């Protein structure tokens, strides 16, 4: 048997890291900020889609994504929290199933966060 866990919103909450990284990218590229609510409404979609929906022209989207990822890498472990009972759920499931993670984050960032939280 295999059990798949969604990473964000099930095991961890990285909302603060996501918001800070978006605002950093807007500052870096001298772009007006959008509201936290607008960003939160798009969490779970790929970054390029989020930036396009937030008004970034297609030609510049990947520059914003690159800036976001650089900043996120620096702050992700400090600005992300393990959700209550997440560790217990993983430990219990591990007793009788193979485990996997489903996320729109890259494998690299996912592994860093999972290792940071000892999962």
pLDDT digits (tens, 9 = 90+) for 19-58: 999 999 999 999 999 999 999 999 989 999 999 999 999 8
Residue 16: both structure tokens together:
């603060």
Under the banding of pLDDT at 50, 70 and 90, the label for residue 114 is confident
Known active-site residue 8 = no
Note the CATH architecture for domain 2-116.
Answer: Orthogonal Bundle (1.10)
CA 106 → CA 13, 23, 29, 83, 92, distances in Å? 16, 20, 23, 20, 26
29: number of Cβ within 10 Å: 12
pLDDT at 74: 94
Is the pLDDT at 106 greater than 80, yes or no? Answer: no
Mean pLDDT of the chain: 92
What are the φ and ψ backbone dihedral angles of 98, each rounded to 5 degrees?
A: -80, 145
What percent of the chain shows pLDDT beyond 90?
Answer: 70
pLDDT digits (tens, 9 = 90+) for 66-78: 999 999 999 999 9
The residue to which tokens 């961890």 are assigned? 12
- Report field, pTM of the whole predicted structure over 0.75: yes
Choosing from 6, 8, 27, 48, which is the catalytic residue?
6
Burial 52-87 (b: 16+ CB within 10 A, else e): bebebeeeebeebbebbbebbeeebeebbebeeebe
């Amino acid at each position: 048997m295999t059990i798949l866990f969604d990473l964000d919103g099930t095991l961890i909450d990285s909302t603060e890291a996501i918001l800070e990284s978006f605002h950093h990218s807007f500052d870096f590229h001298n772009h007006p900020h959008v509201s936290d609510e607008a960003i939160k409404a798009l969490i779970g979609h790929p970054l390029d889609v989020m930036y396009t929906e937030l008004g970034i022209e297609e030609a510049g989207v990947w520059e914003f994504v690159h800036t976001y990822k650089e900043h996120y890498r620096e702050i992700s472990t400090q600005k992300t929290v393990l959700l209550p009972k997440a560790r217990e759920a993983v430990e219990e499931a591990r007793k009788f199933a193979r485990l996997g993670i489903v996320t729109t984050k890259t494998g690299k960032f996912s592994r860093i966060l999972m290792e940071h939280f000892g999962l």
